[in-house]
Structure 1
């Protein structure tokens, strides 16, 4: 017994010694203040170790840039352009400086130099050791407060609250992942705190993030090189915090409206005939389709040996320009994959070498290495000449009619640590810039596409990037997920985490990508049902089992056709979510804790979410589930399919049916919809269905619908859009019969906007027949017969079985509907 105790004690001492060693290695530089100068929006502080600059990027954001002597610095990748104008004040006391902006305050102790950040009187964040570095690593450490929860780090499967975790900052593929992963395709070196700040480590290099794993009350960011700066963003509420974050890092440009439609995608279409047959199958099956995505077979008949050709394989795609044109006439846009690897066996190898397009080895020659697809080089997307060379491919394909770009393997999947990149004359290793590679590639594609087609919106799908990649229109997906129930389970967590930090279009390969030798129709249906309520509807998988719903039979096909039609019917609502995202950064998928910001326990909810503000979605992620438990926020909630009412503020249990994904509408919600079409080419809002979920728990309701031509890249900048606002006010006097005033107002305009609309207002949960309905001062006729009502252009009808009142009328200007 004694020996066992001694052995255990020695192990404990060794562990403690190891921990102490780690802490000693990264002891902070104890900088001492010497002087300061405020120059515009930048506070320059001279210390005995070098200069420190604090820049007010906006009213609520500071960039903090430590510049010790003789330390190589890389540019910022997270910040979007120049700082926004704000007002600063500074006070100088014997022991500290205080820099104040309207929404954030930095308190800087002079000896030793440490910074704390406040919003009002509330302490948000404090440096612990502050900045530290040695010969191998550099980073920052901060105090964590009691009960503070942390989200962030990008794509990881660790639970919503990442406090207590330590994980790599190195974008890396995780093929066939399921329910656990601490390192994936798209990491983000940033966290969002329950104390309502965002902290960004603006460093592209290989590193680690420690959120209280080694020391429970300390957060650390560290890297092997890169930029020694961080950014603090504050906000009063989570939505405001997100808006302040994208004000600094960049707002997502509006995608083309077709990006919200239905995609056909697989690994992969092997011939032009297969592409044409797939589109024909969609048409014959009555499934809407807006885009078809071509994987790597478009430039080579085999998986290996052809990457880098980046031109059509003439044997399998003999008439690609005609194919693209024919698809476009059917409303289907063509998206093609490109990768940044140029194989030495490809047609473009020598041209890439001649034009200095590839990263260099330490001897200054093109760096060649082997990976799964063959012997290769890597395009240096940081180098302007290399970008120009790479852009020739995009120019040619665009002129051939390609409508969108899919950038794959952009971590990069293989990236030699000592590869040399050229950053405007500065040399940087692969390890120093690794995490910004996909970011710079997206920037290149976006800027080039804008120059090619200044009057069109780019579509750019990529699986890796950096903080701020959303400003280049990036649409990420969650990588090569397992085709299994366990692959489906973490998808909500992944999309929510990314959306909180700007990447609001993060979505999954619907149905799962990797493996799966036997088709599981139940899992497939459940995944695609969830996909209707995620940002991009794109089934994609290895083609041993068809990923497209049109190639399945019977109940599977019929159920999913109804859901895809619903996706198109909801386009007015979904497109308004896209508009809101571009205006404010608000993600399309929203976490439960937005509902009650004082209840930090809601941060942990990872299996249900809000789709916009009106709908609550609970994906089914296990087989043969007979019922499901849903946490309802306060207020009234209605089953989206049956209108059954539930009282909120508690957990409820709903029976499940393979035909019905659990979706609930908020009491008081107003959801605009329209007639489904087979392509967004035919989309119109001349006919609108407004679904209002009337409830006395929500006496006043407002909903905003945004609309434009779906194409103009400057519609927000130029105010070339219309805003439709719907307001509902219920009678508050319990002694009187139910009454309602519903107002419709419209502002703004754009070329081609509808001059008038036919509106069907569906008032759900209306408990009684009505005496009269006035549109303006004109009474609508009551039509009891259902068939006669369906054929009428105006009138009212109350359905006693569903307690739904339907009101039909024409709308050409501000209108008020009164229901008595």
Structure 2
């Protein structure tokens, strides 16, 4: 009875607006500052001591009430907020505390009921403070779902009407976790809504508060503006992509905006919204623990950061559907995150080789000339690509025989050389061809799978082939259409993978050839800080109609849904073989189906450095198959820049060289002999590491492990590593330190507190958690092996077909206890179901007590050969008198300067256990 009474009272307060003045006209348009409102503010000051409500202990605790950039006293007071102009709140760059901020009594929503549910906690909320945005939800639900011991889901939505939700295939959990490592609390009945998520530190009884909305900006939930904010436990924040900026976010009044757009990074616009949407962040806490948060929302949004530290999500649609990942290690966080969005796909082995591309080959013959040039230089290469020039008039699924030449013959020759072929496919379909002359349009029109405008007619824009329409990949029929197009083209040109581009969706006119509407979807009242201030700039109208609803909601899913459909199409086309897809546009979960590159970069050292950040972020976003245009896509590169970038690119997961047609050729054989020699050297090193790299991708596919990782993933208790984004690690064992500046023969590299070995010499380095100056002549990239690791390697060759037949090598790096371990996964490298069917071999390597044991723990792949040819052991404390392999003496050499034992000239079958002893 008491609850019902207070619910009625709260409803009355909401309707009459006594907790805050109702100062919005119909449809939410602001009234001008009026005498009536002045009286209201004065009355508030008398009744509630308004000045006290605006007093905050620190300016850092100000939560911005005017989310637009044009702050004014009038609009601020209209919103019932506090005005104290001590700074201007700009977009992106540090701009200081906001002039307009929420008073402490700005309630937002009040809790009207809290109860236990079958999955956790269920609460009902009621609107108590009308905001300044129209069509607010009066009643909300707030559900807490205990999905796993280390993952909790928080959902807030309208109790009385359904709203758009992201159609990601997330786990459907039916029973709550019982051994939870976290605690969730919602404020009590009649109180302002707030929630906290806390967890116990694994090393102590201290409580880690991960989410805390108490006292932060109020919850706002209107049709086109949703706000949820939280205090953060530390300033060390990562993620929130795709953007250009440092790996570690600057939280000093900065903003990240998410909305997919065909946008290379413009000068002076760091933080611009780019090709992908990843509303996920990871926080490194002060004690070295970590947690993560994922907002499952695909609408345009801003994420505002402030040095409290605190964060505010502001999105213009959908619901609040938030996952909190407890960690406690950063690696745990990514595993927990990819358990939700999908583990990364397992790449074919050949895709780890070198890819050569360019927009500018013009013909099939010239394409083959580049392949010949790279091979003549002795530089390993596995894949040759073609940009749009292969097509007829830049139309998808066509070949321009009259200009480009014989594409099928080119592919046949590439296959003859035991290499692979990939070509670009844009998402836009030409719509101005004569009827019956262009099947991709005719069939798509007949199937009714193209996106419509707001009135239901085809939405027509412009892209490379001219007037263009776009397949709607949220429509299930479109996957069938896309599969048909790909299968038909593959029957003529047997390509091995697909490069999908322009899928943000990129448009050469704004919205459509007929423009866009004036409605609230094309021009929302709150406009997130997207580049150029328009949702349809260089894209299609948000009011466009798709199968799952308006483009307003699903725009940023376009690249994801196309990648998913392309994966399905390639499964049908490449019978039994793994699809390989590289997409420019991504969303959370894209890595489950394909890889990514960071888009149109420039031939500068700044862009080379930024590529490391992009790759580290992509790995945290569950997209380990990530790369960048080596040597730069735009502008002429220089030989030295290209040489340094080739060294770095050799340690990208996805390693390709690609540039625009107007600039000089930049394949690794296009420069001097010295450059070719340097490229050959580093390519051979990459190819020798491929078994290790491949095993890391297997761990990522099966367990959700991160492949290329920041140093803080391995050293979470060393705060010096938290901001490092000029070095990175492959797995736990290989530290890469590239040169990122011009005319440098040395590089300053951070060496974590550990034992390390120089890859080239085996020289031992005792890291003490400081920067060290490392020699870096033009033909060298610094590589260091972490003590305690055993890295499986293989003698390299000019492509992976040949290298996979070569003998294996074990690189053993002993730790201070003279121990080490490692593992290898091996299969045929291309079967789509080899892992699921167990047609794989797994080997473990362990060194203890001066004994190396090699054992095959799984032997489902019955290949003809897996042969061990050599073992290198770093960190030997002295020259052994005898080395035995399975009881038989073997030849060895010992480098007394660097303390390296080399066992060579052997040919041991890895299908039987091996024991290597030394005395």
Relative to 1, partners in 2 of residues 1:25 and 1:721: Cα closer, same or farther, differing over 3 Å?
farther
2:230 paired residue number:
142
Corresponding residue SS for 1:560? helix
Corresponding residue SS for 2:606? helix
Q: Any residues of structure 2 matched to 1:463-542 within 5 Å, and which?
A: 463-472=584-593, 474-516=594-636, 519-542=637-660
Relative to 1, partners in 2 of residues 1:102 and 1:753: Cα closer, same or farther, differing over 3 Å?
farther
2:580 paired residue number:
459
Cα distance in 1 for residues equivalent to 2:385 and 2:855:
39
2:423 paired residue number:
336
Corresponding residue SS for 1:62? strand
Q: Is the 8 A contact 1:35 1:47 kept in 2?
A: no
Pairing partner for 2:818 from 699, 719, 737: 699
Q: Is the 8 A contact 1:33 1:113 kept in 2?
A: no
**Per-residue Cα deviation, 1:138-181 (whole angstroms, up to 9, x for no partner):** 13211223x33110112323222223320211122333657963
Corresponding residue SS for 1:546? coil
1:786 paired residue number:
none
Cα distance in 2 for residues equivalent to 1:599 and 1:561:
36
Corresponding residue SS for 1:451? helix
Cα distance in 1 for residues equivalent to 2:149 and 2:679:
47
**Mean alpha-carbon deviation: is it higher for 286-295 or for 348-357?**
348-357
Q: Is the 8 A contact 2:147 2:176 kept in 1?
A: no
Pairing partner for 2:553 from 426, 432, 435: 432
2:562 paired residue number:
441
Q: Is the 8 A contact 2:473 2:565 kept in 1?
A: yes
Corresponding residue SS for 1:405? strand
Cα distance in 2 for residues equivalent to 1:580 and 1:178:
38
Shift of 1:360: 1.2
Shift of 1:404: 0.5
Cα distance in 1 for residues equivalent to 2:851 and 2:866:
21
- Report whether the alignment pairs 1:50 with 2:144: no
2:750 paired residue number:
631
Pairing partner for 2:331 from 227, 239, 248: 239
Q: Is the 8 A contact 1:157 1:179 kept in 2?
A: no
Corresponding residue SS for 1:200? strand
Relative to 1, partners in 2 of residues 1:437 and 1:28: Cα closer, same or farther, differing over 3 Å?
farther
Corresponding residue SS for 2:109? coil
Q: Any residues of structure 2 matched to 1:742-753 within 5 Å, and which?
A: 742-753=852-863
Cα distance in 1 for residues equivalent to 2:556 and 2:103:
28
Cα distance in 2 for residues equivalent to 1:200 and 1:670:
35
Shift of 1:444: 1.1
Shift of 1:86: 5.8
**Per-residue Cα deviation, 1:450-475 (whole angstroms, up to 9, x for no partner):** 23345211101011111121112x21
Pairing partner for 2:361 from 242, 263, 269: 269
- Report whether the alignment pairs 1:798 with 2:894: yes
What number of residue pairs does the alignment pair up?
761
Shift of 1:511: 0.8
- Report whether the alignment pairs 1:659 with 2:779: yes
1:402 paired residue number:
495
Corresponding residue SS for 2:499? strand
2:77 paired residue number:
none
In structure 1, stretches of 5+ residues that fail to align are 1-8, 90-100, 301-305, 731-739, 781-794
1:3 paired residue number:
none
- Report whether the alignment pairs 1:202 with 2:299: no
Corresponding residue SS for 2:832? coil
Relative to 1, partners in 2 of residues 1:779 and 1:616: Cα closer, same or farther, differing over 3 Å?
same
Q: Is the 8 A contact 2:486 2:573 kept in 1?
A: no
- Report whether the alignment pairs 1:170 with 2:294: no
2:117 paired residue number:
38
**Per-residue Cα deviation, 1:5-62 (whole angstroms, up to 9, x for no partner):** xxxx9999446798465648996641424354533x4654444413333334433222
Relative to 1, partners in 2 of residues 1:35 and 1:153: Cα closer, same or farther, differing over 3 Å?
closer
Corresponding residue SS for 1:604? coil
**Mean alpha-carbon deviation: is it higher for 564-573 or for 637-646?**
637-646
Cα distance in 2 for residues equivalent to 1:28 and 1:249:
34
**Mean alpha-carbon deviation: is it higher for 685-694 or for 742-751?**
685-694
Relative to 1, partners in 2 of residues 1:742 and 1:481: Cα closer, same or farther, differing over 3 Å?
same
Shift of 1:702: 0.9
Cα distance in 2 for residues equivalent to 1:767 and 1:420:
70
Cα distance in 1 for residues equivalent to 2:608 and 2:266:
10
**Per-residue Cα deviation, 1:322-370 (whole angstroms, up to 9, x for no partner):** 3323321211211111111123345454554443232111111111234
Q: Is the 8 A contact 1:205 1:433 kept in 2?
A: yes
Q: Is the 8 A contact 1:572 1:685 kept in 2?
A: no
Cα distance in 2 for residues equivalent to 1:28 and 1:320:
66
Relative to 1, partners in 2 of residues 1:174 and 1:26: Cα closer, same or farther, differing over 3 Å?
farther
Relative to 1, partners in 2 of residues 1:88 and 1:756: Cα closer, same or farther, differing over 3 Å?
closer
Cα distance in 1 for residues equivalent to 2:817 and 2:575:
44
- Report whether the alignment pairs 1:109 with 2:202: no
Shift of 1:634: 1.4
1:734 paired residue number:
none
Cα distance in 2 for residues equivalent to 1:614 and 1:185:
31
Cα distance in 2 for residues equivalent to 1:43 and 1:444:
37
Pairing partner for 2:275 from 176, 185, 188: 185
Q: Any residues of structure 2 matched to 1:746-785 within 5 Å, and which?
A: 746-754=856-864, 757-766=867-876, 768-780=878-890
2:177 paired residue number:
88
Pairing partner for 1:713 from 827, 832, 846: 832
Cα distance in 2 for residues equivalent to 1:307 and 1:42:
54
Relative to 1, partners in 2 of residues 1:718 and 1:114: Cα closer, same or farther, differing over 3 Å?
farther
Pairing partner for 2:449 from 357, 360, 369: 357
Relative to 1, partners in 2 of residues 1:683 and 1:27: Cα closer, same or farther, differing over 3 Å?
farther
Pairing partner for 2:718 from 593, 599, 610: 599
**Per-residue Cα deviation, 1:667-706 (whole angstroms, up to 9, x for no partner):** 33322211112222223366111122335x2532111111
Cα distance in 1 for residues equivalent to 2:620 and 2:631:
24
Shift of 1:515: 1.4
Corresponding residue SS for 2:588? coil
Cα distance in 2 for residues equivalent to 1:13 and 1:67:
33
Cα distance in 2 for residues equivalent to 1:579 and 1:470:
14
Cα distance in 2 for residues equivalent to 1:419 and 1:339:
22
Q: Is the 8 A contact 2:851 2:915 kept in 1?
A: yes
Relative to 1, partners in 2 of residues 1:186 and 1:508: Cα closer, same or farther, differing over 3 Å?
same
2:697 paired residue number:
578
Q: Is the 8 A contact 2:482 2:565 kept in 1?
A: no
- Report whether the alignment pairs 1:132 with 2:220: yes
Cα distance in 2 for residues equivalent to 1:13 and 1:107:
33
1:416 paired residue number:
540
**Mean alpha-carbon deviation: is it higher for 339-348 or for 434-443?**
339-348
Relative to 1, partners in 2 of residues 1:721 and 1:104: Cα closer, same or farther, differing over 3 Å?
farther
Q: Is the 8 A contact 2:358 2:386 kept in 1?
A: yes
Q: Any residues of structure 2 matched to 1:718-733 within 5 Å, and which?
A: 718-730=837-849
**Per-residue Cα deviation, 1:399-431 (whole angstroms, up to 9, x for no partner):** 3311101111111223223342323xx421x23
Q: Is the 8 A contact 1:32 1:47 kept in 2?
A: yes
Corresponding residue SS for 1:245? helix
Q: Is the 8 A contact 1:638 1:645 kept in 2?
A: yes
* Larger RCO (alpha carbons 8 Å, 6+ apart): 1
Q: TM-score, normalised by structure 2?
A: 0.78
Cα distance in 1 for residues equivalent to 2:786 and 2:764:
10
Cα distance in 2 for residues equivalent to 1:483 and 1:532:
17
In structure 2, stretches of 5+ residues that fail to align are 1-71, 75-82, 90-97, 127-138, 201-206, 507-537
Q: Is the 8 A contact 2:456 2:545 kept in 1?
A: no
Q: Is the 8 A contact 1:87 1:102 kept in 2?
A: no
Cα distance in 2 for residues equivalent to 1:398 and 1:588:
32
Relative to 1, partners in 2 of residues 1:87 and 1:557: Cα closer, same or farther, differing over 3 Å?
same
